[in-house]
């Protein structure tokens, strides 16, 4: 095991490596011959170099992350490395400080581990793309900023990463910017995220005004000096930032549109890592949040509502990626439910397992889309390769992908022994436990008792689990079973993907199966219980105890809760098998439109329409009429710029009449002037 | 004596000014300017009785400068005439704004 002091010197190298990869590939992508504007495919040799750089830096970063994780696994659980002062103004001073502790180490492992797999996968997935080098540059850039985010030792350094991942996300959503819809989706993600970032900035200002520090370690020790109102205010503003980044109500609208990016991007950024930054930020400030039960209950409520809200939309989506996108929003709601209820371990646990199985689902969906795209292309059909109605019967043609996606599906629905079962159970049990007996249950927000909110969240959690089971089973049955609906010609061209695509899936499949052993419930005697609990205890133990009280559930109650959760999941799968009729499905172009509640869900409750009419429309109209025509064209351009020019024109045209060019009249003026001057001398009697 | 000389000087000067104001022929204007200069010379001579000889010395300077001015002015008038075939200042309005 490396000693802490020798490990410390590698801390800055971890985020630096992906940035170097970004620079290298970014410069390559600027070389005209490599940019591939006309060439459709980047030549294999160049692809190998770009891919080696992109994956290479990730592998080294992963190795360093493992080493740093080992370094903080002992008695000394925190390493910091500072590059000196970033900015200092009076009492305000911010250091370039990176911090590796057990929480950031966990996040680093997920980011670099899952990130490496997705980089490898991308080599195969993006092979046909002209912007190969640009893609890897952006992907490395994202990882670099994401590592800054989780390793930042104070809020401003975290904020660099926070904004940086937003930028990388924007660049990658709009990666195929040739189509307007993709560019618009990137813009939407950026703008919606700005609303959340604004909240995070306000939180920083209030925090500094009250505590005089933005350093995480100091916040954790000084937060007791905050009164209850500022603490709640800070927590709610931080949560606004989290809601933007992690796609919670009402700021979730950007995530489904973010699916416009390449599928590996959706897997890495919009499922496994970036969108979990909000969860991370709350766990990072667990001590602060634990001091504000009101903020905690609000988070529980928003998380629960988001979970069921987005889950229901996923029931009616036909685009395979949209199903997974709404599913991600829903699962993020679960995580917020957990961290809101003070079950920080459960939230982080679900974050990790979700990263495994959701990345697996997205990469599997990517393999399906890849195969469908090639098959439809080969058959000269322009059907949508992402639409479930055009798929069907893929299991026989893509057995490896299908089997792995079934594993991930069982995991996300919460079937034992897959990872999702343990993490979902951890969340539901801890919410139920806190609803029964905890300081949080005694608190209240706006007159609503905390106990009610927690039971409500638990109930919603079960409903969401049921919905999750239905829509995931629906996706699997429509895509992989029944008969192929993409047409006779295309059917022969559907093949399982090459190994560069399948290998990362297999690794994620293994992680999805064994990931649950990170944090086993004490009630199940199949291994050491609560590994993650004891891993995170130095950071979140006190905060967890503050909100959860001291009581422990008896094993019989835990068995009951586990039983309920599994029963709900099984019921959902069963219902999907009984109710859904894949045989009646026809291709997208021949499909009837949804009606009634289905139509509302398929259109995401018309939230986008409402925003377009209620916010975007009036804003654009006001900008056009008031700010553009009125202020810019009218006042600034018309009155100030052209008006002043016209004023001088009029005055000078009057003045120039005086200059008639006839010397006689000038003499008149001189003489009259002389007469007036002398007259004035005489009248006033001046000398 | 000084009063009468000054009155004559003022009358001469006013005639010169009126000539400059009313006439348009460049040569007549020129003569009017000379008239104004000599009106000033007369008042210099008259006032030198009170203030010493410096007034008389000044008159010599004025006459010298007036001679030079007449030489240059007449040269300009001639070249203007060559160009415009007239010395009527009413027709020469190049400075019009």
Contacts of residue A329, defined as CB under 8 A and 6 or more positions apart, other chains included, come to A247, A248, A252, A255, A256, A306, A310
Q: Among A129-138, A270-279, A556-565, A664-673, which stretch is predicted with the lowest mean pLDDT?
A: A664-673
The verdict on B92 touching A (C-beta cutoff 8 Å) is: yes
Helix residue ranges, H only, B1-97: 2-22, 26-51, 54-84
Q: Is residue A134 part of a domain?
A: yes
Q: A659: distance to nearest CA of chain B, Å?
A: 5
Could you count the other beta carbons within 10 Å of the beta carbon of residue A532?
21
Given A103, A134, A153, which residue is the final one in a domain?
A153
Q: Is B17 on the interface with A (CB under 8 A)?
A: yes
Cβ-defined contact of B90 to A661 (cutoff 8 Å): no
- Out of B89, B96, B97, name the one closest to residue A664 (CB): B89
Do A671 and B95 count as a contact with CB atoms less than 8 A apart?
no
Domain co-membership, A321 together with A343: yes
DSSP string, A278-303: HHHHHHHTHHHHHT-HHHHHHHHHHH
Q: How confident is the model at residue A3, as a pLDDT?
A: 52
pLDDT at residue A1 is higher than 50: no
pLDDT at A596: 80
Q: Inter-chain contact B90–A664, Cβ cutoff 8 Å? A: yes
Compute the distance between CA of residue A231 and CA of residue A288 in angstroms, rounded to an integer.
7
> How far apart are alpha carbons A462 and A451 in whole angstroms?
17
Give residue limits of the domains in chain B.
2-89
Note whether B24 contacts A: Cβ–Cβ < 8 A: yes
pLDDT, tens digit (0-9, with 9 covering 90-100), for A648-686: 999 998 888 877 777 777 888 888 999 999 999 988 886
Residue A431 pLDDT more than 80? yes
A593 touches chain B (CB under 8 A): no
Q: Which value does ipTM take for this structure?
A: 0.77
Residue B87 C-alpha, separation from nearest chain A C-alpha, in angstroms: 13
- Per-residue tokens: A148: 């800054």
Nearest to B95 among A657, A659, A668 (CB): A659
Q: Which residues contact A102 (CB under 8 A, 6 or more apart)?
A: A72, A73, A77, A535, A536, A538, A539
- Distance from C-alpha of B88 to C-alpha of A50, rounded to nearest angstrom: 88
| Statement to judge: residues A663 and A526 lie in one domain | no
Cα–Cα–Cα angle for A279, A194, A149, rounded to 5 degrees: 40
pLDDT of residue A37: 54
Length of chain B: 97
pLDDT tens-digit readout, A176-220: 988 899 999 999 999 999 999 999 999 999 999 998 889 999 998
Q: What is the pLDDT of residue A131?
A: 86
In terms of domains, do A47 and A104 share one?
yes
Residue of A nearest to B95 (CA): A661
The reply to whether A143 falls in a domain is yes
Please name the helix (run of DSSP H) or strand (run of DSSP E) that holds residue A89, with its range, or none: strand A78-89
Q: Is B77 on the interface with A (CB under 8 A)?
A: no
User: Which DSSP category does A492 fall into?
Assistant: T
Check whether residue A448 and residue A561 sit in a common domain: yes
Identify whether A228 is part of a domain.
no
Minimum distance, in Å, between the CA of residue A670 and any CA atom of chain B: 10
Residue pair A327/A314 in contact (Cβ under 8 Å)? The answer is yes
Bridge partner list, A449: A444
A535/A671 same-domain check: no
Please give the C-alpha separations between residue A522 and each of A43, A303, A346, A422, A588, in angstroms, as whole numbers. 54, 26, 13, 11, 48
Please confirm whether the linkage preceding A38 is cis (ω < 30° from 0): no
A7: Cβ contacts below 8 Å, ≥ 6 apart: A67, A68, A71, A79, A100
Q: What is the DSSP string of A330-393?
A: HHHHHHHHHHHTT-HHHHHHHHHHHHHHHHHHHHHHHHHHHHHHHHHHHTT----TTBGGG---
Chain B: residue whose CA lies nearest to A667: B21
Q: What is the pLDDT of residues A521-549, one digit of tens each?
A: 877 777 788 888 888 888 888 888 888 76
Omega of the bond prior to A417 within 30 degrees of 0, cis?
A: yes
Measured CA to CA in angstroms, residue A71 lies from A82, A448, A525 at distances of: 17, 45, 30
Look up the domain containing A620 and give its range. Answer: 603-652
- Contact assignment for B93 to A662 by CB distance below 8 Å: yes
User: Does A543 share its domain with A618?
Assistant: no
CA distance B58 to chain A (A): 22
Does the CB of A678 have a partner CB in chain B at under 8 Å? no
Mean pLDDT of chain A: 89
Tokens 């660049």 correspond to A171
Q: Do A662 and B96 touch (CB under 8 A)?
A: yes
Verify whether the Cβ–Cβ distance A671 to B89 is below 8 Å: no
Looking at the structure, tell me whether residues A375 and A523 fall in a common domain: yes
Residue A90's CB is within 10 A of a number of other CB atoms, namely: 5
Under 8 Å CB-to-CB from A180, ≥6 apart: which residues?
none
> Which residue in chain A has the smallest CA separation from B14?
A671
Cα-based angle A575, A576, A579 (whole degrees, multiple of 5): 75
Dump pLDDT digits (tens) for A472-531.
999 999 999 888 887 777 888 888 888 888 899 999 999 999 988 888 887 777 778 888
Q: Compute chain B's Rg from CA coordinates.
A: 16
Contact A663 B21 (CB under 8 A): no
Together in a domain, A622 and A672 = no
Model confidence, pTM? 0.81
A215: DSSP letter: B
- Cα gap A494→A372, rounded to integer Å: 6
Residue A303 binned pLDDT confidence (cut-offs 50, 70, 90):
very high
A549 and A480 together in one domain? yes
Domain assignment present for A257:
no
Indicate which of B23, B33, B91, B97 best probes the interface with A, i.e. most A CBs within 10 Å of its own CB. B97
Q: What is the tally of structural domains in chain A?
A: 4
Q: Cβ contacts (< 8 Å) between B94 and chain A: which residues?
A: 661
Q: Does A671 contact B92 at a Cβ distance shorter than 8 Å?
A: no
Does the beta-carbon distance from A667 to B92 stay under 8 Å?
no
Q: What are the Cα distances from residue A506, in Å, to A58, A121, A139, A409, A417?
A: 19, 11, 22, 14, 17
The answer to whether B90 contacts A668, with C-beta atoms less than 8 Å apart, is no
Second CATH level (architecture) for the domain B2-89: Orthogonal Bundle (1.10)
Q: Does A662 touch chain B (CB under 8 A)?
A: yes
CB atoms within 10 A of CB A656: 11
A671: closest chain B residue by CA: B17
Q: Is B17 in a helix, a strand, or coil?
A: helix
Q: Return the residue matching tokens 């890897």.
A: A136
The answer to whether the Cβ–Cβ distance between B93 and A667 falls below 8 Å is no
A507, A564: one domain: yes
Cβ atoms of A248 and A303 closer than 8 Å: yes
Question: From CA A609, how far away is CA A605, in angstroms rounded?
Answer: 9
Residue to substitute from B18, B19, B21, interface A, most A β-carbons within 10 A = B21
Q: Are A283 and A346 in contact (CB under 8 A)?
A: no
Give yes or no for residue A285 having a pLDDT over 90. yes
Say yes or no: A575 and A610 in one domain: no
**Is the Cβ of B15 closer than 8 Å to some Cβ of chain A?**
no
Domain annotation covers residue A284: no
Burial of A193 (0-12, 13-18, 19+ CB in 10 A): buried
**How many A/B residue pairs have CB atoms within 8 Å?**
31
**CA A333, CA B65: separation in Å to the nearest integer?**
102
Inform me whether the C-beta atom of residue A671 falls under 8 Å from chain B C-beta atoms. Answer: yes
Q: Which of A354, A343, A341 is nearest to A414 (CA)?
A: A354
| B53 min Cα distance to partner chain A (Å) | 23
């Amino acid at each position: 095991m490396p000693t802490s002091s020798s490990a410390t010197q590698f801390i800055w190298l971890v985020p630096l490596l992906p940035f170097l990869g970004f620079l290298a590939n970014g410069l390559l992508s600027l070389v005209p011959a490599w940019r591939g504007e006309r060439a459709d495919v980047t030549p294999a040799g160049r692809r190998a170099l770009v891919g080696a750089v992109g994956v290479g830096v990730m592998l080294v970063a992963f190795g360093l992350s493992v080493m740093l994780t080992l370094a903080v696994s002992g008695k000394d659980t925190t390493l910091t490395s500072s590059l000196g002062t970033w900015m200092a103004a009076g009492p305000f001073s911010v250091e370039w400080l990176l911090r590796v502790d057990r929480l950031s180490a966990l996040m680093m492992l997920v980011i670099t581990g899952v990130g490496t797999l997705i980089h490898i996968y991308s080599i195969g997935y993006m092979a046909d793309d002209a912007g190969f080098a640009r893609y890897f540059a952006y992907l490395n850039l994202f990882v670099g900023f994401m590592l800054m985010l989780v390793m930042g030792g104070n809020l401003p350094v975290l904020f660099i990463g926070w904004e940086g991942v937003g930028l990388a996300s924007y660049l990658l959503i709009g990666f195929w910017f040739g189509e307007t819809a993709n560019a618009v989706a990137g813009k939407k993600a950026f703008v919606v995220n700005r609303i959340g970032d604004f909240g995070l900035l306000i939180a920083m200002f209030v925090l500094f005004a009250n505590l005089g520090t933005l350093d995480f370690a100091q916040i954790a020790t000084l937060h007791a000096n905050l009164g209850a109102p500022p603490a709640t205010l800070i927590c709610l503003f931080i949560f606004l930032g989290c809601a933007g980044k992690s796609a919670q109500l009402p700021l979730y609208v950007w995530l489904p549109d973010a699916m416009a990016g390449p599928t590996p991007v959706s897997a890495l950024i919009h499922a496994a890592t970036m969108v979990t930054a909000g969860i991370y930020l709350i766990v990072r400030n667990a001590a602060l949040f634990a001091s504000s039960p009101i903020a905690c209950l609000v988070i529980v409520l928003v998380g629960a509502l988001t979970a069921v809200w987005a889950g229901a939309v996923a029931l009616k989506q036909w685009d395979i990626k949209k199903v997974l996108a709404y599913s991600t929003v829903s699962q993020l709601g679960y995580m917020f439910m957990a961290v809101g209820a003070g079950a920080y371990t459960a939230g982080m646990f679900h974050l990790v397992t979700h990263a495994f199985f959701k990345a697996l689902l997205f990469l599997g969906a990517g393999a399906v889309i890849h195969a469908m795209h090639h098959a439809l292309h080969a058959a000269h059909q322009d059907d949508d390769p992402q639409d479930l109605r055009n798929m069907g019967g893929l299991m026989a043609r893509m057995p490896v992908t299908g089997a792995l996606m079934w594993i991930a599906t069982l995991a996300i629905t919460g079937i034992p022994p897959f990872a999702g079962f343990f993490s979902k159970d951890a969340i539901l049990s801890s919410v139920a436990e806190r609803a029964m007996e905890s300081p949080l249950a005694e608190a209240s927000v706006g007159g609503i008792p905390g106990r009610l909110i927690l039971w409500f969240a638990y109930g919603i959690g079960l409903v969401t689990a049921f919905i999750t089971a239905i829509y995931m089973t629906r996706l699997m049955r429509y895509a992989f079973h029944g008969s192929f609906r993409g047409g006779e010609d295309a059917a022969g061209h559907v093949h399982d993907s090459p190994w560069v695509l399948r290998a990362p899936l297999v690794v994620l499949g293994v992680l999805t199966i064994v990931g649950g052993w990170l944090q086993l419930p004490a009630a199940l005697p199949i291994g050491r219980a609560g590994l993650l609990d004891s891993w995170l205890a130095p950071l979140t133990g006190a905060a967890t105890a503050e909100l959860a009280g001291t009581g422990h559930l008896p094993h019989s109650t835990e068995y009951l809760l586990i039983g309920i959760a599994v029963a709900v999941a099984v019921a959902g799968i069963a219902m999907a098998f009984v109710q859904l009729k894949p045989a009646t499905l026809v291709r997208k172009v021949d499909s009837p439109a949804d009606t009634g509640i289905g139509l509302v869900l398929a259109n995401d409750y018309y939230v986008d329409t409402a925003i377009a009419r209620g916010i975007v429309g009036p804003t654009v109209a006001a900008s056009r009429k008031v700010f553009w025509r009125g202020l810019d064209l009218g006042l600034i351009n018309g009155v100030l710029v052209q008006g002043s020019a016209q004023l001088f024109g009029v005055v000078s045209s009057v003045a120039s009449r005086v200059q008639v060019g006839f010397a006689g009249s000038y003499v008149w003026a001189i003489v009259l002037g002389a007469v007036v001057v002398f007259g004035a001398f005489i009248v006033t009697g001046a000398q | 004596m000084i009063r009468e000389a000054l009155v004559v000087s003022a009358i001469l000067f006013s005639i010169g000014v009126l000539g400059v104001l009313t006439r348009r022929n460049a040569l007549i204007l020129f003569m009017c300017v000379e008239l104004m200069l000599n009106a000033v010379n007369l008042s210099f001579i008259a006032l030198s009785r009170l203030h010493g000889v410096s007034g008389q010395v000044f008159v010599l300077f004025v006459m010298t400068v007036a001679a030079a001015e007449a030489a240059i002015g007449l040269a300009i008038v001639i070249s203007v005439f060559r160009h415009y075939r007239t010395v009527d200042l009413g027709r020469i309005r190049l400075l019009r704004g």
